[in-house]
């Protein structure tokens, strides 16, 4: 779906752009009606990582604070379960449906069913590919290409002018997931300025700690010289860190680790010098999501794209930031 409007959540209020589709017509899906709380059906990916846990917590806490009646489903990483959860929300006649699509494709049918039932849909965290028009009102999430690019640029800067080839292995997230595809794209853009940087292996660890550990164990055996690991999330980086230590090497020194998310455990590893750089991907989407849910339930226009800004941290910045972080 080509949408041209976007808005960035800054400290200031969101600059609302006009969404391609809002018509200001009467609230769809009931809008909570007089007195009744707005009901939100949320279909979550699963509980695969520290990021996901923080994201789920943020959504549940924010729904409570906003007086929104939340029906929450955990799909355990399976698209079929997410689709059936969305179908059940449609049958229940919720006012709004929101979900974080585990992968980019395969949503057209169920989103058309929601549209035909006049239940507005909000995408959170991950984007989708669809040919259907106006099957969701807005997408709130980070810019994953930018995250990958920041990570790649840091590596390029670290090895600027270094002689000889620098061997990088990439631990990819869930195959087909928007962040996995985009972070790979962005990372390659970031390292492209330094011809000595070479991705010698790239495999999925499915965004989990165990996945990252298993892939790294295999790569340590099969790849003679690894200089850098780019883990598309902290959890896979932490798994890789364990594998590197088990192989008798020092993570952060013998093999550098760059990751994305900036969850507590990743930031602790960075502060301890076992990671070298982390690009944040803020999971605390709950409060902004609830604002959007209320606006959409009331039939108000919302920005087609709400970008959640990210920071990035080296070791010193992580040491300073850790005490004050919420996740």
Binding site for ligand GZL (CB under 6 A): 48-49, 51-52, 125-126, 141-142, 179, 207, 233, 235, 260-261, 281
Window 149 to 208, contacts with Zn ion (CB under 5 A)? 178, 182
Would strands 312-313 and 277-280 be described as parallel, antiparallel, or unpaired? Answer: antiparallel
Question: Binding partner of residue 213 among ligand GZL, Zn ion, none, CB under 5 to 8 Å per kind?
Answer: none
HSE at residue 15, side-chain half, CA atoms within 13 A, is 5
CB of 19 to ligand GZL, least distance (A): 22
Give the H or E element holding residue 73: strand 69-74
CB of 220 to ligand GZL, least distance (A): 23
CB of 18 to ligand GZL, least distance (A): 26
Contact assessment for residue 233 and residue 262, using Cβ atoms and an 8 Å cutoff: no
Residues 10, 16, 20, CA angle at the centre, nearest 5°? 135
Phi first, then psi, for residue 221 (nearest 5°) are -80, -35
**C-beta of 180 vs 302, nearer to Zn ion:** 180
Question: Binding partner of residue 172 among Zn ion, ligand GZL, none, CB under 5 to 8 Å per kind?
Answer: none
**C-beta of 90 vs 127, nearer to ligand GZL:** 127
CB of 61 to ligand GZL, least distance (A): 18
CA-CA distance, 305 to 206, in Å (whole number)? 26
CB of 281 to ligand GZL, least distance (A): 5
Contacts 24+ apart (CB under 8 A), 158-164: 158/256, 158/276, 159/194, 159/196, 159/197, 159/227, 160/194, 162/196, 163/196, 164/196
Question: Binding partner of residue 127 among ligand GZL, Zn ion, none, CB under 5 to 8 Å per kind?
Answer: Zn ion
Determine if 228 is a binding residue for Zn ion (CB under 5 A).
Answer: no
Contacts with Zn ion by CB under 5 A lie at: 127, 178, 182
């Amino acid at each position: 779906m080509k949408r041209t409007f976007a808005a960035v959540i800054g400290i200031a209020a969101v600059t609302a752009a006009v969404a391609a589709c809002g018509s200001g017509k009467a609230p769809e899906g009931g809008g909570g009606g007089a007195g009744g709380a707005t009901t939100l059906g949320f279909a979550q990916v699963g509980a695969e990582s520290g990021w996901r846990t923080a994201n789920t917590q943020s959504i549940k806490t924010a729904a409570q604070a906003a007086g929104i009646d939340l029906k929450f489903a955990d799909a355990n990483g399976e698209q079929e379960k997410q689709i059936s959860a969305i179908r059940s929300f449609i049958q229940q006649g919720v006012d709004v449906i929101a979900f974080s699509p585990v992968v980019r494709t395969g949503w057209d049918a169920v989103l058309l069913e929601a549209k035909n039932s006049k239940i507005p849909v909000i995408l959170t965290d991950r984007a989708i590919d669809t040919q259907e028009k106006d099957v969701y009102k807005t997408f709130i999430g980070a810019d994953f290409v930018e995250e990958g690019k920041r990570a790649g640029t840091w590596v390029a800067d670290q090895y600027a002018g270094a002689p000889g080839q620098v061997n990088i292995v990439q631990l990819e997230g869930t195959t087909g997931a928007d962040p996995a595809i985009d972070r790979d794209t962005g990372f390659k853009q970031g390292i492209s300025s330094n011809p000595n940087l070479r991705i010698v292996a790239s495999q999925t660890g499915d965004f989990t700690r165990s996945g990252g550990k298993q892939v790294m164990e295999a790569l340590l055996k099969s790849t003679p010289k690894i200089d850098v690991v780019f883990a598309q999330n902290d959890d896979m980086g932490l798994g890789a860190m364990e594998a590197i230590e088990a192989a008798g090497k020092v993570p952060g020194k013998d093999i550098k680790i760059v990751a994305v998310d900036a969850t507590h455990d990743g930031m602790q590893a960075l502060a301890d010098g076992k990671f070298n750089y982390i690009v944040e991907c803020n999971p605390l989407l709950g409060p902004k999501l609830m604002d959007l849910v209320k606006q959409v339930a009331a039939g108000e226009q919302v920005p087609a794209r709400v970008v959640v800004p990210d920071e990035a941290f080296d070791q010193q910045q992580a040491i300073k930031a850790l005490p004050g972080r919420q996740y």
